[in-house]
Amino acid sequence: MKTHQPVMVEKVIEFLNVRATGVYIDATCGTGHHSRAILEATGGNCTMICIDKDFRAIQRAKEYLSEFSTRVIFVNDGFENIEKIVRNIGIKKADGILFDLGFSSEQISSSQAGFGFKQNGPLDMRYDKNLPVSAWDVINRFSKKEIARILEDFGEVKDAEKLATLICTERKNKPFETTREFADFIARHRKSRKKIHPATQIFQAIRMYVNNEIENLKAGLEGAVNVLISGARIVVITYHSIEDRIVKRFMKTNKNVRLITKKVIVPDEIEKAVNLSSRSAKMRVAEVVN
């Protein structure tokens, strides 16, 4: 399994303004790499709230952060419920929150999760297995119109209607069952000008739809304002334009936050060369003023 490399770690520490007595929320903790960096920056004295709706991620994070076990609270839930989570823990206010909206190499590499197509697995893509709709349902049961809308709205796929038609025609012969089978089908009918697999946008769109990622992001950002002290920072790392636009709009229009940096923050060229997953990363930072 590929080891995950966290993105812009030093910038996360800098812009969160971490201090030893603080309480920090890692809203998408994954395996816990950013959380570990925050804990180490405070000498292991801060309190971390590690949230992830993927139970497998929580289990990996518990192991990875075991030496800080007395300083970490793990929560298997989604950040869209951030206010309820903090209330249930019994903490009045936190001192900063990080949203890293990418998903880890461990998730991509896990064939059973069905997020990627390098490892063959079932068409699932749900972070939470209790969610009612999987990628299999979208691909094999949704109408051509619904599939095209999902590809357009969540993946900005220009040939969405054409692909939706092809998918619906192909599934009449035999349902799509695995990630590689579906990715290979897309690759046969779609060319990519960039150095990415032709199915990447398609998988992104379906994953975002299945997990209701857009509405959850909006809810999480709004909720973050209500669980942070005045002066606390909201740091968000996005990996594609749809999410970045939502974050940018939120930070510019919400009267309870102010932008810390006018320009988007990106990894330096060295990090991009070493960590390929960081190439599309964008960071935005706001400070709570309520």
For residue 249, CA distances in Å to 98, 221, 239, 241, 245 come to 17, 11, 16, 12, 6
Cα separation, 94 vs 118, in Å, equals: 39
Which of 235, 246, 232 is closest to 283 using CA atoms?
Answer: 235
| Domain identity same for 267 and 233 | yes
Out of 12-26, 140-154, 202-216, 268-282, which region has the weakest mean confidence (pLDDT)? 268-282
Say whether 44 sits in a helix, a strand or coil. Answer: coil
- pLDDT grade, residue 102 (50/70/90)? confident
pLDDT over 60 at 23, yes or no: yes
pLDDT in tens, 212-267: 999 999 999 999 999 999 999 999 999 999 999 999 999 999 999 999 988 999 98
**Is residue 284 located within the same domain as residue 147?**
no
Cα distance between residue 241 and residue 68, in whole Å: 35
The amino acid sitting at 203 is F
User: Looking at the structure, do residues 96 and 16 belong to the same domain, yes or no?
Assistant: yes
Overall domain count for the chain:
2
Give me 218's structure tokens. 């909006």
CB contact at 8 A, 92 and 179:
no
pLDDT of residue 31: 93
Q: In this structure, are 31 and 81 located in the same domain? A: yes
Residue 124 lies in a domain: no
Question: How many Å apart are CA 28 and CA 126, to the nearest integer?
Answer: 15
Q: Which tokens in the block code for residue 237? A: 């790392």
Range of the domain at 255: 9-106+213-288
CATH number for position 51: 3.40.50.150
With vertex at residue 182, the alpha carbon angle to CA 181 and CA 188, rounded to the nearest 5 degrees, is 90
H or E segment to which residue 38 belongs: helix 33-41
Determine if the pTM surpasses 0.75. yes
In this structure, are residues 154 and 167 in contact, taking their beta carbons and an 8 Å threshold?
Answer: no
* Domain identity same for 170 and 232: no
Instruction: Report which of 96, 51, 57, 135 is spatially closest to residue 227, judged by C-alpha positions.
Output: 96
